[in-house]
Structure 1
Amino acid sequence: MYPKPQPSLTPNTYAYESGPMVKATGFREYDARWLFEKEINLMGIQALGMGIGTMIHRMGKKPEIVTGHDFRGYSASIKMALVTGLMAAGVKVNDIGLALSPMAYFAQFALDVPCVAMVTASHNDNGWTGVKMGVNRPMTFGPDEMTKLKEIVLNADFELRDGGGYRFVENFPEVYIKDLTDRPKLTRKLKVVCACGNGTAGAFAPRVLRELGCEVVELDTELDHTFPKYNPNPEDLEMLHAMRDAVLASGADVGLGFDGDGDRCGVVDNHGEEIFADKVGVMLARDLSKLYPNSTFVVDVKSTGLFATDPELIKNGVKADYWKTGHSYMKRRVNESGALVGFEKSGHYFFNKPVGRGYDDGLVSAIAVLDMLDRSPDKSMADLKDALPKTWSSPTMSPHCADEAKYGIVEQVVKHFEDAKAKGEPVTGQPIRDLVTVNGVRVTTEDGSWGLVRASSNKPELVVVVESPVSEARMREMFHAVDAVLRTHPEVGAYNQTI
């Protein structure tokens, strides 16, 4: 019988090396994230593999899985510990090696395998590890599955059986790259900055863009798991500013930046100005709704209100469906609703048929941006951005808040604004026009300015976003109003970045 995981063990001790450690808070809403060696050890990862394998059997799925790992110094060893757990639970493992998360999702289709477990901490700082997993392509686990997995692992409720196996799938990146590039080349000659933050995408993205016909200016594409300059996160202003400088220095038409596991893409225009991913989504929705009128686009609650108010989208019959933030929530909503695309402010885009297969892939997103430029030969990226109605938006801002406290704090913030609306109390001197509480709270005032507070699903943080269609001053007023509510809770710490 496999030992029951402990919530904490002291490193460099007998107990640490002879039993599993798994901190319960690592089981997030739609994936798993831990600080390696502090919150989970290799035997804990093995237990996680046994748990995933046990779930596969209990859910009646074919016991076969795709796995891969991102470019961190410890990810390969973590993957192999996961593999031993999967095999012990009677699962056949198809290992595609060093990979992007969307490459693993693609492998489910290309290899006809139902399940996936991709070892990645995405854009988290070094020291973090995690797994993105699912058993029903193209979906990944949501809260129900993650709760069941957590119970199985923490209670050591494993069903170990024979039948497991392992094979390494050679040269799988070639299959993935061919799938992306086996199409007509772009007709427009585009110079593109390809920024990878020394993360995994650096091994694949420059080649894909070149094979599409782009002139590529590489920025931090050398793989280096120490991330010497900044974390590969295209929502991070440090990475966006590096992209800006490279675009201006090279005279590029656009800058495209990829996160640590390649499922997100950030954009800088030809003037070096970053375009937040939700605004890029509006631009893509405009482009695609001309080809596919009357489409539905799923949009996360952090995103701009333009999806519902943009005159061009209204003219093309677009329906905006605002939904929960998080790649698993968005992916499921897109697939179950038949929406054409799901757009998330973090840069996760979910292109459904006929554009994609329903999962998030930063390179598919990049290709969609390039195709949009190709279909607008007389317009620059800045021209397309400037054609949108003007709004003033913040980046995603994340004040620290412990995993054990963050959901309770958000519940209290939701109640604060619900009570204010019920009593007719103003926010920033204006009546509350609308509250969306599907994921935290999004409070919108009479003039359309809004602020969002929600709990981060993968880090000990809250998430704050504000926007105004009126002025920068109104955006800042909304931020101060939201922050004032958060400051009544001493558990809420400093922001990672603010406006």
Structure 2
Amino acid sequence: MFPKPLPSLTPNTAAYESLPMVKPTGFREYDARWFLGKELNLMGVQAVGMGLGTLIGRMGVKREIVVGHDFRSYSASIKMALVTGLMAAGCKVRDIGLAMSPMAYFAQFELDVPCVAMVTASHNDNGWTGVKMGAQRPVTFGPDEMTALKKIVLEADFDLIGGGSLLFIEDFAGRYIRDLTERPKFSRKLKVVAACGNGTAGAFAPQILEKLGCEVIPLDAELDYTFPRYNPNPEDMKMLHAMAVAVKEHGADVGLGFDGDGDRCGVVDNHGEEIFADKIGVMLARDLTKVHGPSQFVVDVKSTGLFATDPELKRLGATTDYWKTGHSYIKRRVRDLNALAGFEKSGHFFFNAPVGRGYDDGVVTAIAVLDMLDRNPTKSMAELYAEVPKTWGTPTMAPKCADEIKYEVVERITKRFQDMRDHAQRVADHAIVDIVTVNGVRVTASDGTWGLVRASSNKPELVVVVESPVSEKRMRDMFKAVDAVVRENPEVGEYNQTI
């Protein structure tokens, strides 16, 4: 009988080493994230593995699963604790070793295994750990599965049938690299800055781009789990600025930045201009529609309004569905609508056949960007970007807000904006013409300027994004108005970055 996990234990005690600790808030909307030692211990990880194996069986899925881990000092230990739990629940485990998250997703197809558990905290600060999970390739768990997993784990309602096994897959990285490089090289000679933030992508992304014929300038590609320069997060302006400096220093055609577990990609053009990922999505949607004909796309509510208003996308017959932010939500929506691709402002891009297999892979995204450049041999990245209608947008900004209260805070903010609209109050001196509540609240003013507030799915934060098609001043005015509503809630702390 495995004991029920406790929400907290004191480190360096007998109880900490004898009982499982799993903080309930670590079960997020579509994956799991905990701060190791304070919210989760190794016995707690075992409980998560037992719960995952139990859930897989109860879903009627074959208990076979791929596991991998990112490059943090503790990730391999977390993975092995997870594996012992999975095996106790009767799972046959295929261990691909050190990997980016998309390598684990690829392994589901390559090894013909239905389930995946990737140990990673993605771009979260050092000290965090987590698991990205799925049992229906190419999609990963959503709220229903995560709620079921949480219940099983916290109640210790395990099916400990035993009979599990572990098989290590030797040189799986070579199979992944061959899958992406056994294709024609780029016909255009491209000089590329490959920024990895000292995360896991440094072991894989630069060599893949080199094999495709690029001249690669690696930037922070040495693996270092302390992340000495900046967090490997292509939404973080520190990373984008470092990429911009390197692009200008080396005269590169483009800068490509990968997050901690390699499933996201950020872009800097040849002038060192940081292009937010949603604008890259507009550019890729244009390019892919020219190649594949009128196509359906999915984007998240944080993304630019250009997907709906861009004259070129309209002319090409592209249609776009705005959906909930989160890699699991967009991935599932792309599958359900049979869309050609899905784009998130965070840099998670999902390419369906014939471009990809439906899951998010930062290296596949980088290749799609380079294919776009290759198909436009007389144009630079900056020139392609200049063809996109101008808008003024903020980066993704994240004020602190505790996991236990953040969703309630967003409900209050949503009601506040709805009350303003119902009483004909103005936002930033303009009438409110639309409010979208599919994921947080996105409020749009009469001139098309909009602001979004939502709860982060994987950190104790809110998320704020603002965009204006009119001017930088209107963007700043809207941010001031949105932030004033946010500040009505004393539980909200300082931003990680702001304008």
TM-score, L = length of structure 2: 1.00
1:433-448 alignment runs, 5 A limit: 433-448=433-448
Counterpart amino acid of residue 321 in structure 2: D
Structure 1: 4+ residue segments shifted above 2 A = none
> Residue in 1 aligned with 2:428?
428
SS in 1 for 2:430: coil
Structure 2 equivalent of residue 367 of structure 1 = 367
Q: Give me the whole-angstrom Cα distance separating, in 1, the residues matched to 2:333 and 2:409.
A: 26
Alignment of 1:61-76 (within 5 A): 61-76=61-76
Which residue of 1 is the match for residue 219 of structure 2?
219
Aligned to 2:95: 95
Offset of residue 34 of structure 1: 0.2
Distance 1:388 1:242 in 2: 24
Q: Is it true that 1:321 corresponds to 2:341 in the alignment?
A: no
Report percent identity of matched pairs.
75
The CA deviation string for residues 86-111 of structure 1, in whole angstroms up to 9 with x for no partner, is: 00000000000000000000000000
Give the alignment of 1:252-267 within 5 angstroms.
252-267=252-267
Give the alignment of 1:157-172 within 5 angstroms. 157-172=157-172
Give me the whole-angstrom Cα distance separating, in 2, the residues matched to 1:11 and 1:334.
43
Alpha-carbon separation, structure 1, partners of 2:353 and 2:435 = 32
Q: Which moved more, 1:422-431 or 1:208-217?
A: 422-431
| More moved, 420-429 vs 367-376 | 420-429
CA distance in 2 between partners of 1:462 and 1:293 (Å): 38
The structural deviation recorded for 1:241 is 0.7
State how far apart, in whole Å, the 2-side matches of 1:296 and 1:438 are.
Answer: 19
Superposed displacement of residue 287, structure 1: 0.4
Secondary structure of the equivalent of 2:116?
A: strand
In the alignment, what sits opposite 1:277? 277
Find the aligned partners of 1:416 and 1:243 in 2 and give their Cα distance. 39
Deviation at 1:163, TM superposition (A): 2.0
Give 1:292 shift.
Answer: 2.0
Show the counterpart of 2:463.
463
Partner of 1:312: 312
Instruction: Return the alpha-carbon distance in structure 2 between the equivalents of residues 138 and 425 of structure 1.
Output: 45
Q: Deviations over 1:425-482 (max 9, x none)?
A: 1111111111110000000111100000000000000000000000000000000000
Q: Look up the match of 1:293.
A: 293
Letter of the aligned partner of 2:23 in structure 1? K
Residue correspondence of structure 1 range 23-42 to structure 2 within 5 A = 23-42=23-42
SS at match of 1:294: coil
Give the residue type in structure 2 aligned to 1:435: I
What per-residue deviation string (whole Å, max 9, x for no partner) do you get for residues 187-213 of structure 1?
000000000000000000011000110
> Paired residue for 2:302?
302
* 1:293 Cα deviation from its structure 2 partner: 2.3
Q: Which amino acid aligns with 2:237?
A: L
The amino acid that maps onto 1:378 is T
Q: CA deviation at 1:180?
A: 0.4
> Which of 210-219 and 290-299 deviates more?
290-299
C-alpha distance in structure 1 between counterparts of 2:492 and 2:335, whole Å = 35
Match of 2:408 in 1: 408
Encode CA deviations 1:40-96: one digit per residue, 9 max, x unaligned.
000000000000000011001001000000000000000000000000000000000
- 2:62 counterpart letter in structure 1: K
Deviations 1:13-53 (A, max 9, x none): 00000010000000000000000011000000000000000
Q: Secondary structure at the match of 2:425?
A: coil
Alpha-carbon offset, residue 422 of structure 1: 1.6
2:228 is aligned with 1:237: no
Aligned equivalent of 1:192: 192
What letter corresponds to residue 402 of structure 1 in structure 2?
A
Deviation at 1:354, TM superposition (A): 1.0
Secondary structure, counterpart of 2:238 in structure 1? helix
Is 1:476 the equivalent of 2:470? no
- How many residue pairs were aligned? 499
Q: Which amino acid aligns with 1:28?
A: R
Paired residue for 1:44?
Answer: 44
* Alpha-carbon separation, structure 2, partners of 1:434 and 1:389: 22
Which runs of 5 or more residues in structure 2 are unaligned? none
What is the correspondence of 1:117-156 to structure 2 with a 5 Å cutoff? Answer: 117-156=117-156
What secondary structure is seen at the aligned counterpart in 1 of 2:368?
Answer: helix
Aligned to 1:407, the other structure's residue is in SS state helix
Q: Deviation of residue 291 (structure 1)?
A: 1.3
